[in-house]
Structure 1
């Protein structure tokens, strides 16, 4: 990744040339960061959605409601063994993953808008890594199994569309160039019935992703009203455990047209 630069977006006007530049950088590099200023009526929801719209993005609902475009990433409950909430609503660390791993055709892009950053030194820090760096660490046999094998992936209850509770799909797709991965929703009971090759391949992938101290993670610095937008197929992303329980981000998935 290049230096952690960002662009200023004046929300009181539409700078077409700036948004053309941001769009091109997002397409080319798979990542861009902006800081929103002059929010109309302090409306950060509108600011977030307007940036995506001005880039030529179409937001994707997270459930059956076509207006469910923004998912609040905030601590609603402390993480316990009995927690039923989504991981993004708990204070736990989020292991590197891709969004919408439970959809066959997941949105290409993710936006995260910081309403309130974690004000502690190390808590709730966002990080990411190019997908290719993970794939390059896999053995040839594991790449083959993860590309050709079908794994049962559960759909989290809050994100179900229609009556789809799970999908079957490969972990590597698009000729092995992209990853579909969220460790906690790969069906563990089904995996026990799979071949030793499929279990071993997933185990190798897990061991690489969980060894974060051996990965070249990119940690963009975020301030309030900053927004990162990135390619959901080119990067895995995660965060450290949240220590400031007032931390609050907006998450939006979208495609470019």
Structure 2
């Protein structure tokens, strides 16, 4: 299997470290995500990636990203945004964690066939410690050694605590809505990312968003790995 191939794993690691973005197209069925799990284990073993994290107190490494049936959704107290069909603006995964994961991956099991001065609240569905419902930290950090900007952003969980932070957040929102940024957006349509596609992303260097989900059977599976305190490498 390619996930055990030393050269293949090395190429994946290099792509993630250089550009922070990679799309893989599987040529075989793998609904159990065995390739992806083995690939991450090899990245951990040979390239110093941290192991995957659990998604919450009740979830393991893999999280099913798909709309919940209406009846189940209505009965669920803490429903994740990923379990709805609503749009999800630009954000970083786990922005509410002291040590957010460096990377995350999404495997397409079924594509959509219908077309430091901030208080950051932990969404109820991701609370792991009942005594820790928020953190205080920065949204942007500049790695001066590498010359790279690191972000953690999710607008619906961030509360600016100072006037300077409020102004900075508003400026960031304007930048994200600018034509210059829109011209650099990578659109992963169902045609580009059909069943069997895996998207791997540097969670600190790329923001991601989602349109309204039109197909209630759309199904992705997500894994996050390599946690590090924000502001450290």
Q: Structure 1-normalised TM-score?
A: 0.72
1:71 lines up with 2:63 in the alignment: yes
State the 1:154 CA deviation: 0.4
* Partner residue in 2 for 1:184: 156
Distance (Å, rounded) in 1 between the aligned partners of 2:41 and 2:7: 14
Superposition map of 1:99-248 within 5 A: 99-121=93-115, 149-162=116-129, 163-174=131-142, 177-187=149-159, 191=160, 194-210=161-177, 215=182, 216-220=184-188, 221-248=192-219
Q: Which runs of 4+ in 1 moved over 3 A?
A: 77-80, 194-197, 210-214
* Partner residue in 2 for 1:146: none
What are the ranges of 5 or more consecutive residues in structure 2 without an aligned counterpart? 228-233
**Residues 24-33 or 202-211, more deviating:** 202-211
* Partner residue in 2 for 1:133: none
CA distance 1:118–1:213, change in 2 (3 Å): farther
* Partner residue in 2 for 1:249: 220
SS in 2 for 1:60: coil
RMSD: 2.8
Distance (Å, rounded) in 1 between the aligned partners of 2:179 and 2:87: 12
Paired residues, what number? 210
2:4 touches 2:39 (CA, 8 Å); kept in 1? no
Distance (Å, rounded) in 2 between the aligned partners of 1:212 and 1:51: 36
Distance (Å, rounded) in 1 between the aligned partners of 2:120 and 2:176: 18
Distance (Å, rounded) in 2 between the aligned partners of 1:239 and 1:160: 23
Superposition map of 1:25-44 within 5 A: 25-39=15-29, 42-44=30-32
1:44 touches 1:115 (CA, 8 Å); kept in 2? no
What are the ranges of 5 or more consecutive residues in structure 1 without an aligned counterpart? 1-9, 122-148
Q: Structure 2-normalised TM-score?
A: 0.79
* Partner residue in 2 for 1:5: none
**Residues 213-222 or 233-242, more deviating:** 213-222
**Residues 84-93 or 244-253, more deviating:** 84-93
